[in-house]
Structure 1
């Protein structure tokens, strides 16, 4: 509730007299001086009330409230500590139940969880005098609810039921196994009587609100037998023709407090965890993974994109519905789902597509739609200027290690300055293009903020903008600072026809602090159809005071192709001395030393000369060379002019995973993982702490609490960009790298997630909540 200022509380006569005296408003000025301390006191008193409740208290109050409940003090993310204290009483009442264990794990880690009593998976022989109802048979010994999708305890595997077989080896494995008598340790599923497995899904699932799938072709198969599709449409979900592993969304059970003391929701289900989609379960459990709806393309912007809670949501144009659904009876048409391998779909499928069948390959993110008539096919894949354009829209979910790089997530922006000009792109404006929004930057009188309100592809060609031809290239000429950002939980893609170049309007008008450019939440990629100049960086000129990349992805390439090969690498930045000015007088007149800030971003190699400053925080720099790769002449961070012999810009870092050699003039930082040789010109100054190095003849300044390979081995789930576990540390990694980095947590780009603290906190609580004789095993799934 807003507070009324002191001056406004005075009777009207005093406020009127205060305006009439000479000089005027003396009383207003006096009370204004008192207003600041009074407001601070008012806020403090209000916060004292809020501190009585765990939901609203300040972070420092959490351990004091924990003391009132007698809970053990923990360290880590305040959100998890708050949830732990909030549910203490409810979980104590349910101590020893699987629901309490799952809720406890969710509170302390934020990850989806599944608790499994592994004794239930042991094969056993029943005593004839004590048959179990779940073993099948005639009533009263058989369960009437038993279906072919369920496996009775000790039952044989249904080899003709792929949906159930797909659960083999997963946390939801229903099959009987022999006992595992080896010593039980974390990270492994040991089936034995006292063991309780707590399975955790560590990867985050990000759902893109809406994208336009890439139309890859339409095939007329000719007349077909009844029920089979004549027309087959092929689509790739990723608009840049990149394979993407489809994930499901997380829909865990949760504990609700009720007047009766609360209740525990059902345990986590197999089709409601944030893991990869299982193609074998799409046919029988497709509703848990895929939803199909229609949208209205006649409105501007199009409407009807209300997202469900599944991992893949497909939207077809509304005008196609009458062609697909016969007027009567309605049940004659029903969309069917099927999972299949579409990697080599050009040569045909093992099983032909049926009419109204949607075939999904969740391993590479492909769709195949079977239709009956040419009219249906034309309306779903509409030819535009000789090119097929998909009218189907989709929302899909993918997995990533954490919020590093461009992801669809909520962002909170401060109020823009009073003189700022805000320009909107996408759904809010009904179709304003990015190209149009960047026109006229050289004439701006105040900061310009461009917000993109969709997750679609936005082509950008600087040659198509007025006044960009300068210094023998094409550059954005900035009179004021520019902010280009994703809004509304979106992840827009900027498809560059040529490298992004930034230049101040007049070289002599730049100050050490302005103009600056901030890119936030954007995915930048090269347009191969342009074609983008081979070997050039996505950003090749920064002639401004400051460039900030916050939560961005400068697609580094190196991702897995559909045949298993690796895509070519793509440099991120190439910034040479001289700032790109063609006139020597402009170089002399340009005063700033440009600051390059990269924060929670993923980028390709950085070639930056010494006339810049480089600051990297919680980011991944990828030149495609891991710990076990032989040097190839590529550098992750080095000079732009002569990478092998010159020295790159001075580097400051805090939380950095670097796939490739580093060669810089000076360095200081902490929490880095460097997979190749690290060389510093000035090794007498600066300091590096809590970092891991390759040990390949590194030239380092003073370093403390650092480790070196091969003494300290580092293993990543994946070293390829776009893989779900990209740059994620495996549990087999040396403990010093996982737990003894900055803040007693992991080194590398994802140390800020405090996963080591989450792991420790969970074990502390499990020791307190575990019944006597039960042995907990914490097993990561992703």
Structure 2
């Protein structure tokens, strides 16, 4: 609705408006206040009509509409309050999914059908899934009048593609026949599968995220013809871009699910397939993978590389005899191999999909990015395979960040004194690599926002080019200045915030540094096996500054703090929904290189911290995992609640923390039992290396005290807002409601 502040004033007769103008418009100002409240009332009345329908209603109305249809909510829904904060709203959307309530009547009409179970997984839990009737995979003698030649069968050792499917995706596509498994599908100990009443729903918890037109990394230590899909140089499994199902009765197959690609599935299928060609449905514009190599193998070619030139191959040791004019691709490791005597001279660009669990760090996903008000906007572009390097840019567009900063300095010097320029937005327009060193020096009251464009993932590659000084992204500023980083991936070096010189007053300093939806690669760079190249180096260094550091929905390495000469109150360090990874539990995630503790007042909410935390004070630690010891100097203030705190920690008062609760339930004299509980209640991660699909995700065998130990019974740590325990419980309740009588349905995780 368009606001009209003078709509009531315009209804008055002209004579009253003329008299009001003579007196300085006091009546107009009064009616503007009344019009504002009338707009609020009018909007509320309009929302009453929208709240009649499930498609347009507010989130709090969804459970009420569901109650009219007999939709049964989980017991946790009764604990939701009406505060309207982000966490409560997110949990409410999980406990009462809008799509599941909207499709309640349709689901009841389709009750007992196999395809409905896949729709329930998508609507009730938000997980794409494949439903499997396990009795169809039993080995049994078929009736001669009702033969099923394509069902089950023994293993063909000459078909590597079928053999690879046995354990792939937890067996969701296992094509072979099995003997009867008498264990129940719903057993809490060891779950059975292959029995007549068993039905499994293989849910995919990982998501498939795109990377568009980004430079491939040349693995020079292996050869100039060896490339990695990942711009960091690490191995990364390529994932499939899911294709939407067109028929409601269709049972999902591989192309409909966000699953990793396999070498033999990447190849052309068929009874006479020799696995030497790539499937056309996986390669090309809008598909899972695409490669550009300008002027390869001949001038004017390679944009993009034709599908006919690709060969699926196992490049685990980088040894493969590649014919001239062909490219070997390993989708399981994310590697490319060109002929040694025919390597690309103008570089390689790739588009692909990678697997991850949440919208975290830099990525091409939708995110809300607040903008600076009244800011000038400069657009920066990067090199693309089909773009002429000598392109001339229109006004406001630049070929590098350094050129945009130079133009900003010239604009400030040319601005009149009455209208100084104080805000700048540098938007990186494409996913790609932006190289160079950056030094941001801000004037008093100035703000600079370095941000990614919508649905892009720009990589800021900081190069080691200066021998006399560090090459980090250097930031310094005067009083009231701010720097905001949004949606970036920073590799090669870290961020260094410089404080004022000793002769300057303490107030002449940067105000705050805000990092949102960014990735500061832990260890600065990666080896092929995802091990960090510089594990001891920090991602953020606060050198003699009192600037506040605010981090949200980001991944970063260690944080180092060097205190200023004049301390005063400790500066603020606020981290939420993020990962702080020192690349090892024995290393320091937050500390000071020259003191016992970092002189900051820290706050951690829904975070996973790998490494030791050494801080002056902790204002609040909530729903977080501290895999290393947490040592706080000032224990009289602050609170640690619903967190896992490693053994040997020194913290402020704790509330509902682990392993404290587990140890409190054991008798004080039972030493062996206490030692067992101490080891049992420890977070178990599927992977502790950045750039792996299951990075710092809790393993399914992790104890319930961690997997549902947060304040709202979600998981502790950075993946708290996924609400996976609630999604699983909601889906299990729906399965019991919609499967036929006597059927034992269970949830299995394909990823």
Give your verdict on TM over 0.5.
yes
Given candidates 376, 380, 403, the residue that maps to 1:421 is 376
Mapped pair 1:172 → 2:173: yes
Cα gap change, 1:288 to 1:752, in 2 (>3 Å): farther
Cα gap change, 1:216 to 1:45, in 2 (>3 Å): same
Distance in 1, matches of 2:9 and 2:26, equals 16
Q: How does 1:263-412 map to 2 (within 5 A)?
A: 264-285=248-269, 286-287=278-279, 290-292=282-284, 307-308=285-286, 310-315=287-292, 335-345=308-318, 348-349=319-320, 352-354=321-323, 357-369=326-338, 381-382=344-345, 389-390=346-347, 392-412=348-368
Q: What RMSD, in angstroms, separates the aligned Cα atoms of the two structures?
A: 3.2
Cα gap change, 1:562 to 1:212, in 2 (>3 Å): closer
Cα gap change, 1:370 to 1:161, in 2 (>3 Å): farther
Give the TM-score normalised by the residue count of structure 2.
Answer: 0.81
Match of 1:153 in 2: 151
Per-residue Cα deviation, 1:380-414 (whole angstroms, up to 9, x for no partner): x23xxxxxx32x43211111121221111123344
Per-residue Cα deviation, 1:179-226 (whole angstroms, up to 9, x for no partner): 222343369562222111111111121101221223458999xxxxxx
Distance in 2, matches of 1:37 and 1:50, equals 20
Displacement after TM superposition at 1:51 (Å): 0.5
Displacement after TM superposition at 1:353 (Å): 3.2
> Contact conserved, 1:650 with 1:666, CA < 8 A, in 2?
yes
Displacement after TM superposition at 1:652 (Å): 0.9
Distance in 2, matches of 1:734 and 1:219, equals 42
Mapped pair 1:236 → 2:228: yes
Given candidates 588, 603, 606, the residue that maps to 1:652 is 603
> Contact conserved, 2:205 with 2:357, CA < 8 A, in 1?
yes
Match of 2:655 in 1: 704
Distance in 2, matches of 1:368 and 1:57, equals 53
Given candidates 524, 528, 550, the residue that maps to 1:597 is 550
Distance in 1, matches of 2:141 and 2:524, equals 52
> Contact conserved, 1:162 with 1:281, CA < 8 A, in 2?
no
Distance in 2, matches of 1:563 and 1:20, equals 76
> Contact conserved, 1:559 with 1:723, CA < 8 A, in 2?
no
Match of 2:423 in 1: 447
Displacement after TM superposition at 1:69 (Å): 0.6
Q: How does 1:44-63 map to 2 (within 5 A)?
A: 44-63=44-63
Give the TM-score normalised by the residue count of structure 1.
Answer: 0.77
Match of 1:117 in 2: 133
Distance in 2, matches of 1:66 and 1:660, equals 45
> SS of the counterpart of 1:40?
helix
> SS of the counterpart of 2:55?
coil
Distance in 1, matches of 2:191 and 2:308, equals 40
Mapped pair 1:209 → 2:186: no
> Contact conserved, 2:442 with 2:481, CA < 8 A, in 1?
no
Displacement after TM superposition at 1:26 (Å): 4.8
Match of 2:475 in 1: 502
How many residue pairs align between the two structures? 656
> Contact conserved, 2:372 with 2:449, CA < 8 A, in 1?
no
Q: Could you tell which deviates more after superposition, 205-214 or 5-14?
A: 5-14
Cα gap change, 1:315 to 1:279, in 2 (>3 Å): same
Cα gap change, 1:12 to 1:741, in 2 (>3 Å): closer
> Contact conserved, 1:195 with 1:776, CA < 8 A, in 2?
yes
Displacement after TM superposition at 1:238 (Å): 2.0
> SS of the counterpart of 1:773?
coil
Q: Where does the alignment leave 5 or more consecutive residues of structure 2 unmatched?
A: 78-90, 270-277, 383-392, 413-419, 464-470, 500-508, 564-569, 660-677
Per-residue Cα deviation, 1:693-745 (whole angstroms, up to 9, x for no partner): 222x2212211111124241311110011111001111111111111212221
> SS of the counterpart of 2:700?
coil
> SS of the counterpart of 2:22?
coil
Distance in 2, matches of 1:193 and 1:481, equals 66
Q: How does 1:575-724 map to 2 (within 5 A)?
A: 575-576=542-543, 578-579=544-545, 593-609=546-562, 611-626=570-585, 631=586, 634-642=587-595, 645-667=596-618, 668-695=620-647, 697-708=648-659, 709-724=678-693
Mapped pair 1:94 → 2:113: no
Cα gap change, 1:241 to 1:29, in 2 (>3 Å): same
> Contact conserved, 1:212 with 1:239, CA < 8 A, in 2?
yes
Distance in 1, matches of 2:722 and 2:17, equals 59
Cα gap change, 1:48 to 1:607, in 2 (>3 Å): same
Q: Where does the alignment leave 5 or more consecutive residues of structure 1 unmatched?
A: 136-151, 221-231, 255-262, 293-306, 326-332, 383-388, 469-474, 527-531, 580-592
> Contact conserved, 2:180 with 2:194, CA < 8 A, in 1?
yes
Cα gap change, 1:320 to 1:19, in 2 (>3 Å): farther
> SS of the counterpart of 1:341?
coil
Mapped pair 1:545 → 2:497: no
> SS of the counterpart of 2:215?
coil
Cα gap change, 1:729 to 1:218, in 2 (>3 Å): closer
Cα gap change, 1:270 to 1:677, in 2 (>3 Å): same
Distance in 2, matches of 1:711 and 1:426, equals 51
Displacement after TM superposition at 1:3 (Å): 5.9
Match of 2:721 in 1: 752
Distance in 2, matches of 1:288 and 1:174, equals 24
Per-residue Cα deviation, 1:119-163 (whole angstroms, up to 9, x for no partner): 1111112244x341x32xxxxxxxxxxxxxxxx223232332323
Match of 1:459 in 2: 435
Distance in 2, matches of 1:274 and 1:486, equals 25
> Contact conserved, 1:112 with 1:250, CA < 8 A, in 2?
no
Displacement after TM superposition at 1:417 (Å): 1.4
Match of 2:541 in 1: 574
Per-residue Cα deviation, 1:564-602 (whole angstroms, up to 9, x for no partner): 8654314112223x32xxxxxxxxxxxxx4211111111
Distance in 2, matches of 1:604 and 1:45, equals 49
Q: Could you tell which deviates more after superposition, 483-492 or 6-15?
A: 6-15
Match of 1:585 in 2: none
Displacement after TM superposition at 1:44 (Å): 0.6
